[in-house]
Amino acid sequence: MDLSREYAKELDAQDALSVYRDEFYIQPETIYMDGNSLGLLSKRAEKSVLELLDSWKTLGINGWMQGGHPWFYLSEKLGKMSASLVGAKAEEVVVTGSTTTNLHQLVSTFYNPQGKRTKILADELNFPSDIYALQSQLKLRGYDPDHHLIRVKSRDGRLIDEDDIIGNMHEDVALVVLPTVLYRSGQLLDIERLTKEAHNRGIMIGFDGCHSAGAIPHEFHKWGVDFAYWCNYKYLNSGPGGVGSLFVHEKHFGKVPGLAGWFGSDKEKQFDMEHTFSPAKDAGAFQIGTPHVMSVAPLLGSLEMFEEATIDKVREKSLRSTRYLMDLIEAELSSHGFVIGNPKEDEYRGGHVCLEHTEAARICKSLKEHGIVPDFRAPNVIRLAPVALYVSYEEVWETVQIMKRIMDEKLYEKHENKREIIA
């Protein structure tokens, strides 16, 4: 392959999404490769925050029903704007809560142990917060998580074999909860296949889309996924602690949410103030509390860009960027002990590259010292995300050249091979 900077510049010149780079606040002398953990602030997101702030300033309580973005309908509006990203109908998505609170809501609703069917199936490589939520939901129902939470084992510590997941879909399983993309290795699961296999066995299935929403197109409605949930602060650039999203397939509309709250009410009846809950007839029913207006505000501006760019073009560039990054790593860093831990096949790869190295923590510290922002995950993973909307191919090239210098000159040895408080 062509290892020159000129080739990287040629790729940038051909990139239809390069126009969006100027939409983001990118710090000078910094290459940001951590958008799979926290996306950058865009100028449009900043603008939408100021617009919502001004609506409070000028309208006061009338902002609930007046202004350019009435707050009363904001969660549903953003859900509609998000729907195409996951292949959903507009009424199947609502922006609300957080990843973990939405998981609690959905498990409370869709986990219905009956007879032999009492267990929840997950995987051993899932993000800890999901596992904590599943364990606590089982405890609330009087079940022992050590016995009733099945965690499918990984054969290599990196990936989960889908045949192993399916092989654990026994007649005692009531619910399956899996990630769309594994947060460490970036493995993309076959959501359609797993959903079909679960339903063939009479099992409900839901997905955590935190590491795919905004990077990978899905077809949740078409595939019949029962529910899904995700954060918006990674690839969707909604800001730190940004409000999450959830999807509920329309076949479940009318199902009473496990955790009821007044913003899940039918909006025509919400202010009747009755003590009889009348849930909304769509995914809005699964809201609990009042919308966090200022926290959802950045998403308005961010989603405008996704509507223009389209998730398909974002995925196309993401695949090309991660392929280019892997090729450079194999060509330039092959003698330095790195192992690419993510699937190399396009159909199984998420939006980031997973690099394994015994000195990963101190290499990450050295990268930061040299203007590269990576992501470390214990015990030995460096995650690098060339996010489609704001990372250039030339920056991918520069990242590998800087890493090569760090390894050639052993610059990482000055650092302790131990993670910071926040990795």
Q: Provide the annotated binding site for pyridoxal 5'-phosphate.
A: 99-100, 127-130, 208, 211, 233, 262, 290
Exposed e or buried b per residue across 335-356, where buried means at least 16 C-beta atoms within 10 angstroms of its C-beta:
eeebebbbbeeeebbbbbbbbb
Sheet holding 381-384, edge to edge: 339-340, 353-356, 381-384, 375-377
- Numbered residues of the known binding site: 99-100, 127-130, 208, 211, 233, 262, 290
**Cα-flanking dihedrals φ and ψ of residue 356, to 5°?**
-105, 135
Distance CA 312, CA 215 (A): 9
What are the residue ranges of helices labelled H in 226-310? 293-309
Token pair belonging to 25: 């606040």
Which element (helix H / strand E) includes 152? Answer: strand 149-152
Contact 359, 350 (CB under 8 A): no
**Cα-flanking dihedrals φ and ψ of residue 224, to 5°?**
80, 20
Q: Is the dihedral of CA 6, 371, 239, 91 positive or negative?
A: positive
- Within 8 A by CB and 6+ apart from 412, the residues are 359, 362, 363, 365, 366, 406
Token pair belonging to 91: 């009424």
Which element (helix H / strand E) includes 315? Answer: helix 311-332
Fill in the amino acid letter for 190.
D
Fill in the amino acid letter for 339.
V
Fill in the amino acid letter for 180.
T
Q: Which of 316, 231, 237 is nearest to 23 (CA)?
A: 237
For helices 311-332 and 293-309, give the axis angle rounded to 10 degrees: 80
Distance CA 94, CA 284 (A): 6
Token pair belonging to 53: 């702030």
Q: Which of 196, 248, 234 is nearest to 389 (CA)?
A: 234
- Within 8 A by CB and 6+ apart from 310, the residues are none
